[in-house]
Amino acid sequence: MINLPAISQRIEEPIRDIEVVIKNRDLRIFRIGSLKATPEILQVLTKLLPLYGITEPNEEHLLEASIFISSYKLIAVDEIKLAFEKFARQELNIDDHKLYGKVDLAAIGRILTAYINWRQKIYHAIDCDNERINDKIRQKDKENKAVKDFYDQFPTMLQEFKGESWKDVPVYWYDACINAGLLSYMEGEKRKIWEEAQEISAKIKPEADNYFDLKSNLKNAAQIQDTNAKTIAQKLAVWKKVLNRK
């Protein structure tokens, strides 16, 4: 989903203008064809030009202008109005901001060219936004595949486990067993494993590389012991309940 407010803020353009560009990207003349576009352009110019001081354009001039505009393959019919609006608001890179009350093909050409150049920054912002979204989707797909591959291989990993004690059980296997539905407890089993883990953890003496770390570990001995007990309990659960080892 394109984040229009973020794009609007980043490139400092109204959301309405950005929406027009997005809506018409696949409706540009090179896609729909000049034959279809020309009569539609004629209808737009008939309503549009009087708003810019060209009050009585004759049919010949209107048709000539329509055919001329249809040669601008990179613009959509519905973008013509936006191009003229931005021209009137002096938001396009054009030195001369007047039409002088007549159908001036050169002036119209400058407007359309300036509009196409202006629009490029919107295309760039949209494409960058889409690329970020696609990157996230690809990354998520990659992660989902990795998870699926892991769980597909997990039963074989359990069967081929060569560990000699609960200490050799990878700690992440506990969550994997839970997620795979391989681990459940009979009444009282979880408490029994937890008590065993506490006993083992209580026998582990604090270690450190230096006096200050040792002092800190002694101060936080209860917390460290509890953390160790939780890890041990998870390993014991896999060892006893999933691997069926004693």
| Distance, CA of 58 to CA of 50 (rounded, Å) | 12
Look up the pTM and report it: 0.64
| Distance, CA of 184 to CA of 196 (rounded, Å) | 18
In contact, 90 and 133? CB cutoff 8 Å: no
Residue 118 pLDDT more than 60? yes
Query: In terms of C-beta density within 10 A (0-12 exposed, 13-18 middle, 19 or more buried), how is residue 9 classed?
Result: exposed
pLDDT at 174: 95
pLDDT at 207: 61
| Distance, CA of 95 to CA of 116 (rounded, Å) | 16
| Distance, CA of 106 to CA of 146 (rounded, Å) | 59
| Segment 2-41, tens digit of pLDDT | 789 999 999 999 999 999 999 999 999 999 999 999 999 9
| Distance, CA of 103 to CA of 49 (rounded, Å) | 8
In contact, 114 and 78? CB cutoff 8 Å: no
Average pLDDT of the chain to the nearest whole number: 88
Mean pLDDT of the 55-63 span? 82
Start-end of H helices in the chain: 4-11, 15-24, 29-32, 34-48, 59-70, 79-88, 105-159, 173-179, 189-202, 211-219, 221-237
pLDDT at 193: 94
Mean pLDDT of the 133-156 span? 94
- Give the alpha-carbon dihedral of 78, 33, 23, 77, to 10 degrees: -10
| Segment 71-91, tens digit of pLDDT | 999 999 999 999 999 998 889
Residue 53 pLDDT more than 90? no
Q: Which residues contact residue 81 at a Cβ distance below 8 angstroms, ignoring those fewer than 6 apart? A: 44, 48
SS3 28: strand
Phi first, then psi: what are they for 92, rounded to 5°?
A: -110, 155
| Segment 154-211, tens digit of pLDDT | 999 999 999 999 999 999 999 999 999 999 988 899 999 999 999 998 887 766 555 4
SS3 76: strand
Higher pLDDT, 146 or 222: 146
pLDDT at 97: 61
Higher pLDDT, 193 or 213: 193
**% of the chain beyond a pLDDT of 90:** 68
